Amino acid sequence: MALVLGVLLLAACDQGGSADEAPPAEFTASFTREPYALTIDYTLRNTGDDPLVVYNGVVGEGGFGPPTADAVYITPGADGTVQIAKRVFDAPAGVDPQARALIRGEIVPPGGKVAERVRVALPLTPSHPYGSDQAGRLPDPARRVMFCVGAASQREFPERLRNGIPRPGQSPTPSPGRYGDFTHPSPQHLYCSEVYDLGS
C-alpha cells in the first residue's frame, strides 16, 4: 500500500544563498511511496507582488539537454536526510564562469503557480549539476528525505538577467509566464517539505 504525506509551508527555508528576504509563497508537497519509486506532487504559489523565478527545469549533467519533470538533484543533507530538489548550487572551485551549468527557470507572475508531479527511482542515487561526484555520499540505505524547490524574486537579479541568460533577439524586459536559462549559482531561497520517512 502506498504511503502519502501532505505538508504545507508558508515561507521558505531560506538557506539558498540570497541575502534578500525570502519572497512570499505557499508551498505544498505530498509523497507516495512505491516499492521502486517515490512520487512527489508539489505546488509553489506566488503570493507576493513581484514575479518569481522558479528553478523547476533540471537539465542533464553539466547543464545540458532538455529538462524533464522527473529530473531532480539528489544530495545528502543534515542529520542523515537526503534532499531531493529542483534548485541551484554553487559552482565548484575552478569552474570557468563561462562554463557554469544551467537550469531552466519558470517566471511565475503574482498569483500564479507551478505544479508538478515528480517520480524518482528507488534506491536513490546522487545527482548534482556539476557531476554526481560533487553531490556527496548518500546514507546507505537512505531512509529520510525532503523535497525542496529553489526560487527567487525577479527583482533580485540584474535587469539584464531577469529573463535568464540573454539570447539574440530576446527582450531584456521581465516577462512573466515564460522560461529562461539561469546559471548555477543564481539568487535563491529554498521552499522545503517536512522530512518524509521512506521506511525500511
pLDDT digits (tens, 9 = 90+) for 39-63: 999 999 999 999 999 999 998 765 5
Overall pTM > 0.75: yes
Which DSSP symbol is given to 64? B
> Tens digit of pLDDT for each residue in 5-15?
444 444 455 44
* pLDDT of 200 higher than 70: no
Cα–Cα dist 76/80, whole Å: 7
Cα–Cα dist 132/134, whole Å: 5
Q: What is the mean pLDDT of the chain?
A: 86
Collapsing DSSP to helix, strand or coil, 1 comes out as: coil
Polymer length in residues for the chain: 200
Q: Are strands 189-192 and 81-86 parallel, antiparallel or unpaired?
A: unpaired
What residue ranges do the domains of the chain occupy? 3-89+101-197
Q: What is the mean pLDDT of residues 12-38?
A: 82
Q: Looking at beta carbons, which pairs linking 7-13 to residues 24 or more positions away fall under 8 Å?
A: 7/193, 7/194, 9/191, 9/192, 9/193, 9/194, 12/151, 12/189, 12/190, 12/191, 12/192, 13/148, 13/189, 13/190, 13/191, 13/192
